[in-house]
Amino acid sequence: AGELAGLTVERLVNEPSAAALAYRFGKTEEDQTFLVFDFGGGTTDFDFGIWRKASGPKERRYRYVIHHFGDGGDAYLGGENLLELLAFEVFKANSSVLRKSKITFPLPPQCQHFGGDEVLISESQEAWTNMRHMMECLRPFWERQEGYEKLFETGVMKLRLFDSSG
């Protein structure tokens, strides 16, 4: 909410409710209970309430009314977050090989340090680039893209990573 270019901006409903309303509601005159889960790239959000036809003098200016009961979410339960966690687990499983090559990775916010990670964990540009490369390599598996099985049938992935000197 706020003001932009002289226009007042109000938040009437959150994103999951807006999506539900745009997609389904208005196709019937009956009251409808809604429960929406939005499993997005960065978060998982949920929202629930009742959508009904307006009635009574207080609602005479409206065709429909939403009674919003609640919403919430998890800031670390989006698809990209889970893909980052998967990449970090692959990184940890291969830490001995990566240590020899001086390959670094960042520590995702929801992850814990592990023994011997002092030389492996970094916030450098190379470390973040390595994380992104690993995530993109694992994306077909995570998203079950067509033909992903063939990419992973050997159990070996090949990708270019940056060492700590670039």
Q: How much is the pLDDT for 151?
A: 85
Q: How much is the pLDDT for 14?
A: 65
pTM score of the predicted model: 0.67
Residue 50 phi/psi, 5-degree rounding, is: -130, 135
Tokens of 146: 């067509």
Rg (C-alpha) for the chain, rounded Å, is 23
Report the sign of the C-alpha dihedral through residues 3, 6, 10, 14, in that order. Answer: negative
Q: What is the pLDDT of residues 88-129, one digit of tens each?
A: 999 999 999 999 999 999 999 889 999 889 999 999 999 999
- Tokens 């291969």 appear where? 94
Q: Where are the alpha helices (DSSP H) in 24-143?
A: 79-93, 95-100, 125-142
Q: How much is the pLDDT for 132?
A: 96
Q: What CA–CA distance (Å, rounded) separates 70 from 36?
A: 11
Q: Give every residue of the chain whose pLDDT is below 70, as ranges.
A: 1-4, 9-29
Q: How much is the pLDDT for 27?
A: 64
Three-state secondary structure call for residue 88? helix
